[in-house]
Amino acid sequence: MNKRIVFVAALTIVSFLIRVYKLDVPDRQIGDEVYYVPDARSILGQNEQGLPIDPRSGHPPLGKMLIALGMLAFGDNPFGWRIMSVIAGTAAIPIFYLVVSRLFQDRKEFNYATPLATFLFSFETLTFYFSRVARIDIFMLVFLLAGIYFLLDNRFKRKIMAAPLFATSFLAKESALVVIVPLLLYAGLKTVEKAKKKEHGRLLRYDWRTVLALFAATGVSVALLWYMLEWVILVPRYSNLVERILAMFSRLSISNPSAVGRSEIWQWFFNYPATRALAIVPGYQINPATVVTGPLVTPGLRYSYVIQVSWTVIVFMVPTMMYMLWLARKDTLGRFTSLYWFGGLMGWVVVNMVFRGLIYLFYILTLLPPVIIAISYFLGKRLHEESSGKSVKWTALTGLYLLLHILYFVALYPVPIP
């Protein structure tokens, strides 16, 4: 069996186990679970009307319906609230591997970059957090990655399959739209051989028909799936889809500068501000405001979620993305990662400028995959070059980097291990 497949399978199993371990801790709702769990209960008909109703219009219904599915299967308890997030977060790992494999297909860095990227993604702390709590962001991410996999296929019949998956990502959480738009625009970039025999190389062309078809298919998929979810499966609160969408986007005008955890976009580059959800064992004198690690490092914590990106990823975000932007002049990988990341970042800037709504550090979640891919490309390229010689400098540096990445993950692991 292919060694990479064995590696990814083992990584997926380990990732599931560390996500599901003590999933019922804490035994109360934390963070935005206080919104999503009651919404899921209402979707299950636990309301005054006794009908399956999505009580809030701030987000599309799919993410909350998936939380409700876990509660239906495993009960209205902490495990039931969170199990679907565990499943989605675990599924995201092999899907991300498939995306990276497609990006690095036929490239010399393939054997190094694909396992590196998958490992980094599996133990990235912000992604891990959303894989253990009853929140909707991880559903958005897993469907987004699945859509990207099909978007990268050169065959139009496969590429168009990205549309319903992007629609599903949007219906899990509407902020997926910020990165879906630049990704669909990327789909129009085509490289073609130069016509004249004396000229070597390739030319870059733009295929508007493919882009327009993808936008149309995604829009139609959103409308059909949303109608099915909210007007067929659930009991709707709005008379039509247009009214429902307007109600959802009206929340973008909310402005609350004093909200806990609120962030300006420039602060994302400094991984600030981190938010926390924790509980202290009685008898321990710990100041909650100073907690920056989990129970494995800080004794006396019943649990501790420090909600921020892995420093081993974010510290390299700007240099690697600038490197990929430079590479984009002549490389498809550079063009993909650059348009994905810079396009998504500019999307958030526009949203923040127009609406001045609530922006949080965790909104960076969907911008992390291209950063991880860029880091893995850089290291994979050096490891490949080094493999034909006697030097082990980059092998040692990469090993040290991965060790720091896993140590940071362990330091932030949210629950104690007996």
- Residue 354 half-sphere exposure toward CB, CA atoms < 13 A: 10
Whether residue 418 is contained in a domain is answered as: no
* pTM recorded for the entire structure: 0.96
Q: Which domain holds residue 312?
A: 3-412
Cα separation, 160 vs 330, whole angstroms: 26
- Torsion angle, alpha carbons of 322, 324, 329, 335, to 10: -120
Q: Where are the alpha helices (DSSP H) in 21-134?
A: 33-43, 62-74, 78-103, 110-122, 125-130
Query: Is residue 63 situated within a structural domain?
Result: yes
* AA letter at 264: E
The alpha carbon dihedral of 296, 118, 262, 37 has a sign of negative
Question: CA 286 to CA 126: how far, in whole Å?
Answer: 24
pLDDT per position as a tens digit, 354-389: 876 678 999 999 999 999 999 999 999 999 999 988
Residue 118 lies in a domain: yes
pLDDT at 250: 84
Tell me how many domains the chain contains: 1
- Structural domain includes residue 93: yes
Indicate whether 202 belongs to any domain.
Answer: yes
Structure token digits, residue 13:
């199993």
Task: Judge whether residue 393 has pLDDT over 70.
Answer: yes
Percent of the chain at pLDDT > 70 equals 95
- Quick: pLDDT tens for 66-108: 999 999 999 999 999 999 999 999 999 999 999 999 999 999 9
Phi, psi of 153 (to 5 degrees): -75, 135
DSSP 161: T
Calculate the CA 288 to chain-centre distance.
28
Predicted pLDDT at 249: 86
The pLDDT value recorded for residue 252 is 72
More confidently predicted of 198 and 109: 109
Residue 204 has pLDDT above 70, yes or no: yes
Task: Give the integer Cα–Cα distance in Å for 295 and 395.
Answer: 32
Distances, alpha carbon 400 to alpha carbons 118, 119, 395, 406, in Å: 17, 14, 9, 10
pLDDT of residue 389: 85
Instruction: Answer whether residue 417 is part of any domain.
Output: no
- Contact present, 141 and 130 (Cβ < 8 Å): yes
Q: What is the mean pLDDT of residues 208-218?
A: 98
